[in-house]
Structure 1
Amino acid sequence: MTATFAQVMIFLVAGIGIIVLLTAFFRMHAFFALLIACFVVGLGVQMPVATIISVTKQGFGNIMQSLGFIIVLGTTLGVVLEHTGSTKVMATWILKRIGEKQAPLAMSITGFIVGLPIFCDSGYIVLSGLNKSLCRRTGISIIIMSVSLATGLYSVHCLIPPHPGAAAAAGTIGVDFGRLIITGLLVAIPAMLVGYAWARYAGKKITNEEPLEAPVIDLTTQAPSALLSFLPVIVPILLIGARSFLAIETGKSIPAWMQLFLVTGDPVIALTIGIVLAFLAVRSWKKVVIGKLLQEAAEKAGGILVIIGAGGAFGAILAATQVGEHVSKAVNLQTLGIFFPFMLTAVLKTAQGSSTVAIITAASIIQPLLPALGLHSETGKLLAVLSMGAGSMTLSHANDAYFWVIAKFSGLDMRSMLQVYTVATLLMGLVTLLVVYCLSLIML
């Protein structure tokens, strides 16, 4: 295989274009779009079919090895928290501490916390009933409350594992999960606040509309206490963070307490502990209910895993084309640095709608370009993933499923959503990029 720089770039653009075209316009499942893109790029650079198949299998398998358990367990934790009512308990607890006058901020913070283990669309659906009841009780506009909640959920969804986009990017780029979670939490706070601030500012200009009724969630068990509701979210984060930041020197004897943190801080073990704590929030369980919950979680995770696996396969194909070497010789990427991952992911996100697909695709392209971008150090890789996370926020509009979840469950029209929510996601992405850039000046 002796492809020229022009040939590699033409078919790289063609592959990305096919992903956008098939997912955004033909509504094809991202797995098949990514798989087709693998063959388009591979055949375009004169790669033998047998090699394409072998490389895609290897890429798919590698990403499953690093992320498979994490995605399944993270999804399971979210499903159990939804069923037990822990998400609503956390929301109510935060509201009491902040006060009804600050209900939008309370919903934003609730979204931030609930969104750590739960996907943004699921979290929004679960909390939409509480959100609308607060609108009626406080008289605050539904658009302000809804966008405050939505952006709180969105801020962590795009930046922090075990959410599939951030997790896949971390696996592809080679970033420690603990460092990404801790740093991502800090970076997500300004994103949440700017989303909330824009909702308060722009939402005042929108006429209040009567929201649609949210579906009633039938809980067969009594809601758990606030402590039991928060523990399944907080404990895994603390364990993973502690493991990441423990300074362990190889070759020396490790104290027993440190070994305990090394074991329990593994993301797989930490998430498992979170699931156990989530189940303990309810005193008694029926076998049928447990079986249905675990089946729902496994099925939900399966759809995510095939997309992530196909993203890994696409990344392996790009690596095999040596796109990094070609681009680094032709373009001085070091001048773009931390901005290039953001711009690439933002274009993909805006074009095809899915934050997950955007960041997975971008990570596959960015990985071989890290040395040319000057981001090949451990800190550089971390900042590259956060930059891509910022790009995956920018911007959410009518081709994003989450956009329609918010509109449907809040009774908002297209114009209101574009004026408030879509602009909020643009500001969130830009502010997050600014924070990441400031971190790069300090850390690199």
Structure 2
Amino acid sequence: MDAIAPAYGTATLLLIAAAAVALLLVLIMVVRLHAFVALVLVSVLTAVAAGIPVADVPDALLYGFADTIGSVALLVGFGVMIGRLLEVTGGAQVLADTLISRFGERRAPLALGVAALLFGFPIFFDAGLVVFLPIILTVARRFGGSLLLYALPAAGAFAAMHALVPPHPGPVAAAEALEADIGLTLLVGAPVAVVSWYVGVMLVSRVLGRRVHVDVPELLFGEAVDPADTSPAPTGGASPGRGQDAAGTGARSATAVRETSAPSFATVVGLLLLPFVLIAFDTVLATLASAGVVDEEATWVASLRLLGNTTVALLLTTLVAIFTLGTRGRSLSDVGTILDKALAPICSIILITGAGGMFGGVLELSGIGEALSGSLSDLGMSLVLQAFVVSTLLRVAQGSATVALTTASGLLAPAAAAASLGELQLVLLVVAIAAGATVLSHVNDSGFWLVSRFFGMDEATTLKTWTVMETTLGLAAFGCALALWPVAGALG
């Protein structure tokens, strides 16, 4: 659906957007209306208030919802299936034990973050988080303490790589718009992502984890399926507490796993690497095709890119997990029961994330981003600062980091061309734009809801933790760009 011509001026549209966000927060956090219902209701009211023709409101609602849920439903579904199989067969425990034995308990968050940085090179944020979820939860469950100590380093690593490093689509699109060199963007973006992650995520997560306690959610562990028993979990009784390794469902599941021979470390790592390798086919070949290195219409390129499609890659990984992990001492019928139990708890996650995409889509179609872009064409500041400010305002106004990144880079492209910037300066503009598109993830961002529901956090807690961490990550990346800007200017 094409963007609708703005019915009001920029100031009015921004007031409508601010009022919509405020109403949404009141409905969810004060009135305690279910997030899915509140998001759909506010989306309808915002569409009408922003001047979208009444006849077009249903299409406007479906625009963001269908686009988000179309990918999220498949991605989350396959990801949770893989995660559940890793959990009930002991694969997640094997990987967690190996990581801890190599890095030590105190360095467990660092180990998770470094692994996510490596895995995050070819894979998108949401896909990486879904596949990595069982490892995060297993480590957090073993050592206790706040889930944030383990979840934020890993999730932040995926976010940093997705925002700053080609071949991810955001930095690639920005580099193309600004005519920056893709290779140099990669060479600069990768170390900036690592530094920004350590400063803006790793260090910050230690503070947040000490101040905010979040229990390990029951997404994977709630029913505690015994690997040799696929009968329904008994009802009633007290739920196991955090960190119950010696008693409760965690110990029962882990003990049964050892008795039925858990998969090897190599098997688990190979299973986790499979989707990353397959997805790398798509992302790397797409970059090479855009650079003219390979013919995107060649059969071999199209075939590898099909295998690398996120949905196809996770489907293949799920099939491999079923036959390498699930059928160890079980029938396919038993595996089907385990997978059914894995899918049941995620309906809310999928619907709420889709509704978050609906709200963001309405804000986008209302013309808020376009109107804001037009009013920011000349801010009277240096280009690198202007890049960050413009991208940040677009991100806050309409929620989508991708839209903010591509819109800001297109807006700044003429000014960058007129300034005759050097190659390194152009790359730093890409970094600054990506930094602005990362900060202040909130209720109009579908990723906010994905993180909130995956980690079992309410909206207030997500704002105090995830939103803060995304902001410090973006500020750290912008700090790197700002520090390097004079050096780039001297080099020409």
User: TM-score normalised by the shorter chain: which range applies?
Assistant: 0.5 to 0.7
CA distance in structure 1 between the partners assigned to 2:431 and 2:76 by the alignment: 20
Cross-structure match for 2:153:
152
Please show how residues 75-86 of structure 1 align to structure 2 within 5 Å: 75-86=80-91
Cross-structure match for 1:317:
362
SS at match of 1:336: helix
With 182-191 and 88-97 compared, the bigger mean Cα shift is at 182-191
Please show how residues 223-262 of structure 1 align to structure 2 within 5 Å: 223-246=262-285, 247-248=288-289, 252=295, 258-262=301-305
Structure 2: give runs of 5+ residues left out of the alignment: 1-5, 120-127, 163-167, 175-182, 212-240, 417-426, 443-450
Q: Is 1:2 the counterpart of 2:4 in the alignment? A: no
Please show how residues 258-297 of structure 1 align to structure 2 within 5 Å: 258-279=301-322, 280-282=324-326, 283-287=328-332, 289-297=334-342
Q: Percent identity, aligned pairs only?
A: 19
- TM-score normalized by the length of structure 1: 0.66
Q: 1:336 aligns with which of 378, 381, 386?
A: 386
SS at match of 2:387: coil
Alignment CA distance shift 1:45-1:193 (3 Å)? closer
Alignment CA distance shift 1:366-1:216 (3 Å)? same
Q: Is 1:48 the counterpart of 2:53 in the alignment? A: yes
8 Å CA contact retained: 1:105, 1:196 = no
Please show how residues 269-418 of structure 1 align to structure 2 within 5 Å: 269-279=312-322, 280-282=324-326, 283-287=328-332, 289-332=334-377, 336-342=386-392, 361-363=399-401, 366=404, 369-370=407-408, 373-374=411-412, 387-392=436-441
Which residue type is aligned with residue 140 of structure 2? S
Q: CA deviation at 1:227?
A: 0.8
CA distance in structure 1 between the partners assigned to 2:433 and 2:46 by the alignment: 24
Q: CA deviation at 1:257?
A: 5.2
Q: CA deviation at 1:56?
A: 1.0
8 Å CA contact retained: 2:73, 2:350 = yes
CA distance in structure 2 between the partners assigned to 1:27 and 1:266 by the alignment: 38
SS at match of 1:223: coil
8 Å CA contact retained: 1:38, 1:56 = yes
Which residue type is aligned with residue 109 of structure 1? A
8 Å CA contact retained: 2:282, 2:308 = yes
Cross-structure match for 2:236:
none
CA distance in structure 1 between the partners assigned to 2:113 and 2:408 by the alignment: 33
Alignment CA distance shift 1:2-1:391 (3 Å)? closer
CA distance in structure 1 between the partners assigned to 2:469 and 2:294 by the alignment: 50
Cross-structure match for 2:222:
none
Q: CA deviation at 1:239?
A: 1.9
CA distance in structure 1 between the partners assigned to 2:173 and 2:68 by the alignment: 11
Q: 2:140 aligns with which of 111, 125, 128?
A: 128
Cross-structure match for 2:99:
94
Alignment CA distance shift 1:86-1:261 (3 Å)? same
CA distance in structure 2 between the partners assigned to 1:37 and 1:275 by the alignment: 36
With 70-79 and 182-191 compared, the bigger mean Cα shift is at 182-191
Bigger radius of gyration among the two? 2
Which residue type is aligned with residue 154 of structure 2? L
8 Å CA contact retained: 2:405, 2:433 = no
SS at match of 1:275: helix
CA distance in structure 1 between the partners assigned to 2:173 and 2:71 by the alignment: 10
With 261-270 and 308-317 compared, the bigger mean Cα shift is at 308-317
Which residue type is aligned with residue 304 of structure 2? F
Question: Can you list the C-alpha shifts for 1:180-205, whole angstroms capped at 9, x where unaligned?
Answer: 99999876644553454567899999
Please show how residues 186-201 of structure 1 align to structure 2 within 5 Å: 189-190=194-195, 193-194=198-199, 195-197=201-203
CA distance in structure 1 between the partners assigned to 2:282 and 2:43 by the alignment: 36
CA distance in structure 2 between the partners assigned to 1:8 and 1:200 by the alignment: 38
Q: CA deviation at 1:225?
A: 0.7
Question: Can you list the C-alpha shifts for 1:118-169, whole angstroms capped at 9, x where unaligned?
Answer: 488865542234325xxxxxxxxx68xx7653432332464578xxxxxxx9
Cross-structure match for 1:108:
110
- TM-score normalized by the length of structure 2: 0.61
8 Å CA contact retained: 2:392, 2:404 = no
Please show how residues 151-170 of structure 1 align to structure 2 within 5 Å: 151-156=152-157, 158=159
RMSD of equivalent CA atoms: 5.0
Task: Tell me the matched-pair count.
Answer: 384
Cross-structure match for 2:218:
none
SS at match of 1:3: coil
Alignment CA distance shift 1:340-1:202 (3 Å)? same
Alignment CA distance shift 1:404-1:284 (3 Å)? closer
8 Å CA contact retained: 1:90, 1:226 = yes
Which residue type is aligned with residue 281 of structure 1? L
Q: Is 1:430 the counterpart of 2:431 in the alignment? A: no
Which residue type is aligned with residue 43 of structure 2? C
Alignment CA distance shift 1:189-1:33 (3 Å)? farther
